[in-house]
Structure 1
Amino acid sequence: MARLFGTDGVRGVANKELTCQMAFQLGQAAVAFKGRTILIGKDTRLSGDMLESAVAAGIMSMGGTALLAGIIPTPAIALLTRELHCDGGIVISASHNPPEYNGIKIFDGQGFKLPDSVEDEIEAFMARGGAAADELPRGDEVGVAVPVEDACELYIQHAVQSVEKQGIDFKGLKVALDTGHGASCMTSAEALRRLGADVTVINDDYCGTDINVQCGSTHLEPLRALVAECGADVGIAHDGDADRVMLMDSEGNEIDGDMVEAVCAIDLKQRGLLAGDTAVSTVMANLGLTHALRDAGINLIQTKVGDRYVLEAMREGGYV
């Protein structure tokens, strides 16, 4: 049988490849392997409500508490799982994929993705059909679902304060923003405005079937047109769950991710904040990144493809 978990959780066409039964069992698994209090967030897909209900039911069937954060970016769930002292977090999203797809990814209590070994244990749990019926709690031992009213606000405050603490604001900066009819429509424009930016935003509404469609980080043409139209200094485009960002300069040129990492690493080194004078990327990084960092006195560690492997190397070496 093919492995259930891909590089970023379980994904497929909702209600066909990713079924409510699978979502229910993943909710059960979250409690079985992580603990009783699980935070759930989702993007704007139509199937998000259905899968959220199934995941929450699985959590409650194990006697757990499902904290419902609603529509919110993936990084916010990683943050709030830790800040709200949850045992784990779940994001219901298929990231940059078309609207008919959805996905489920699980975080541990520190907001980190699960290692392969734990995912393998969860797969075995699901292959057995989830928790045995005679082991489930009854009566007053079943779980509950509780809404988290201010989840997006907590994330916005964290993002703004993280920048302000470095003595930085965005006053005088004109920003063109494409939220891709996705989760960042709840947070990004507000955070940028609080930092002083003049923000013009497109695709910041949603109907559940327009997420990532000819917009956002995978389709930069609308952002390029917006940058030109409003004379922006920078363009920003997110994917559906806002764990991905594509940047554009004032001329409409895409700023590659390798370039972003080089700028961040060199800036941190100049400020004495680059741990071990080392940056971490994957083997997909352009050779130009290696040369640019080497010329700046920075070592580059390259990992297997997948952000979890980058993160593992960062945690092992204490890199930033």
Structure 2
Amino acid sequence: MSRKLFGTDGVRGRANTYPMTAEMALRLGAAAGRFFRRDGGSAHRVVIGKDTRLSGYMLENALTAGLTSTGMNVLLLGPVPTPAVGFLTRSMRADLGVMISASHNPHHDNGIKFFGPDGFKLSDEAEAEIEAILEGEIAPAQPQNIGRARRIEDGRGRYQEFVKTTFPAGLRLDGLKVVIDCANGAAYKAAPEVLWELGAEVIPIGVSPNGTNINERCGSTHTQTAAEAVVSHGAHVGIALDGDADRVMILDQNGRTADGDQIMALLAARWAEEGRLRGGTLVATVMSNLGLERFLQGRGLRLERTAVGDRYVVEAMRRGGFNLGGEQSGHIVMTDYATTGDGLVAGLQFLAEMARTERPASDLLHTFETVPQLLKNVRYEAGKQPLSDATVKARIAEAEARLTGRGRVLIRKSGTEPLIRVMAECEDEALLQAEVAGIVAAVEAAV
């Protein structure tokens, strides 16, 4: 069963435009409610969290109406990180978790992603079943069985207490000056409070959400703001989250940014030394740098690659029994602690390593030499199929032939935006630039 509405991370689009309308959110909530109430019965429960986008109010109310119309009882968490929804879905014994967020996208976008009762994101198959229900008549509950909704005031606090349990009990962050950039998003209260409670001197930025400034020149997709704060305040380290706090980038004391690959390399090496890295394997996507793969191989460890999307990383981890994975973009998944990427937990793991070794962030964040990598995005109109164009196919084949034995080419559609992502790696940077430019030009001509 195929999916049309769901992408790699739930349903996403421009707010107040299909499919991110109040009407569609209501129907999607009703379809999800009907899917989770297939067995009938009573006391079905769903938790809903959101980030700080203005459109979150509209979608939260519409989803609540749809869910309660099919008999689901709704617990509203307010603004909390995406990993908090995964955690609270399990801890509150809910049948379903919903996060309203478009992650790192601009404020005018929004999205809806679902978590099952185990706290993990729904499978492709489950999402396809919800779509099938959505396309038909959705049976409402009888009047006496309509669900109730209530606000949960301490959801964020519960999550913060859990997050602190992932930090080693014998360590504190005393003496560490930490810049935390919350991207004016879902962790704007949780992240600074956790760091302060663990003893750090906290310099918070991106903590004044107004509904339209989420991810705006801040956060993990724009680390320049955090870098400037690290340098100007003389901080030891910077942590930059995205809008829903499931991604992280870490900056050293000089303001240099390390992506998810460097963070995963550090954790994998450390966990392997401690005998904690299950199967001697790190799971990452096809986007991760060749340098990471070579680094792991040099230590007798293995890199298992998946399709792009943290959901696919998690599926491979669960299938193989592995406990560490993630994406170059900053999703770091540690199933010993969480069911999805958690930027704050990953940041704490790095800070624990700083506290344990008493080494500067610059020593820890540049674990391997990267192979030069270049990524360009080409936007296209809905309905176009540029990768089916014969000229584009031929140009990609030429690039692959030229890079054989020297690097690689990866061309794909984004699962969250109407973009063609053109990526290549090669130690010959001139050749790299030329091949990426050639493919981009062919795609642009096709669109």
Determine if contact 1:34/1:109 at 8 Å carries over to the other structure.
no
Match of 2:133 among 111, 115, 125: 125
| Distance apart, 1:139 and its partner CA | 2.9
CA distance in 1, matches of 2:171, 2:258: 21
Structure 2 unaligned regions, length at least 5: 38-43, 324-447
Partner in structure 1 of residue 76 of structure 2: 68
The 3-state SS of whatever aligns with 2:46 is strand
Partner of 1:259: 262
Q: Is the 8 A contact 1:11 1:94 kept in 2?
A: yes
* Contact 1:71–1:186, Cα closer than 8 Å, also in 2: no
Letter in 2 for 1:31: G
Runs of 4+ deviating beyond 6 Å? none
Contact conserved, 2:10 with 2:114, CA < 8 A, in 1? yes
Question: TM-score normalized by structure 1?
Answer: 0.95
What's the CA shift for 1:121? 1.3
- What does residue 194 of structure 2 align with? 191
Q: Equivalences for 1:222-233 in 2 at 5 Å?
A: 222-233=225-236
Question: Is residue 187–residue 245 contact of structure 2 (8 Å, CA) maintained in 1?
Answer: yes
Pick from 252, 269, 281: which aligns with 1:249?
Answer: 252
- Where does residue 46 of structure 1 map in the other structure? 54
1:23 is matched with 25
Tell me which structure has the larger Cα radius of gyration. Answer: 2
2:161 is the alignment partner of 1:157: yes
Distance 1:265 1:140 in 2: 53
Structure 2 Cα separation of the partners of residues 181 and 257 of structure 1: 21
Q: Does 1:145 align with 2:149?
A: yes
SS at match of 1:103: strand
| Superimposed CA distance per residue, residues 1-43 of structure 1 (whole angstroms, 9 cap, x where no aligned partner) | 9821111010111111211111112211222223421100000
What residue number does 1:175 align with?
A: 178
1:263-302, aligned counterparts within 5 Å?
A: 263-302=266-305
CA contact (8 A) 1:181 1:205 kept: yes
Q: Distance in 1 between matches of 2:173 and 2:24?
A: 44
Using the TM superposition, give the Cα deviation of residue 204 of structure 1 relative to its aligned residue in structure 2, in angstroms. Answer: 0.5
Q: How does 1:306-317 map to 2 (within 5 A)?
A: 306-317=309-320
Aligned to 1:216, what secondary structure does the other structure show? coil
Letter paired with 2:28: L
Give the aligned residue type for 1:67. Answer: L
Alignment deviations for residues 188-210 of structure 1 (CA, whole Å, 9 cap, x no partner): 01111111111101120111011
Deviations 1:83-106 (A, max 9, x none): 110001000011111111110001
Q: More relative contact order in 1 or in 2 (CA 8 Å, sep 6+)?
A: 1
1:170 CA drift (Å): 1.7
CA RMSD of aligned residues (A): 1.4
Secondary structure at the aligned position of 1:163 is classed as coil
Aligned twin of 1:136: 140
Where does residue 85 of structure 2 map in the other structure?
77
CA contact (8 A) 2:3 2:127 kept: no
Cα distance, 1:242 vs. partner? 0.8
% identical aligned pairs: 47
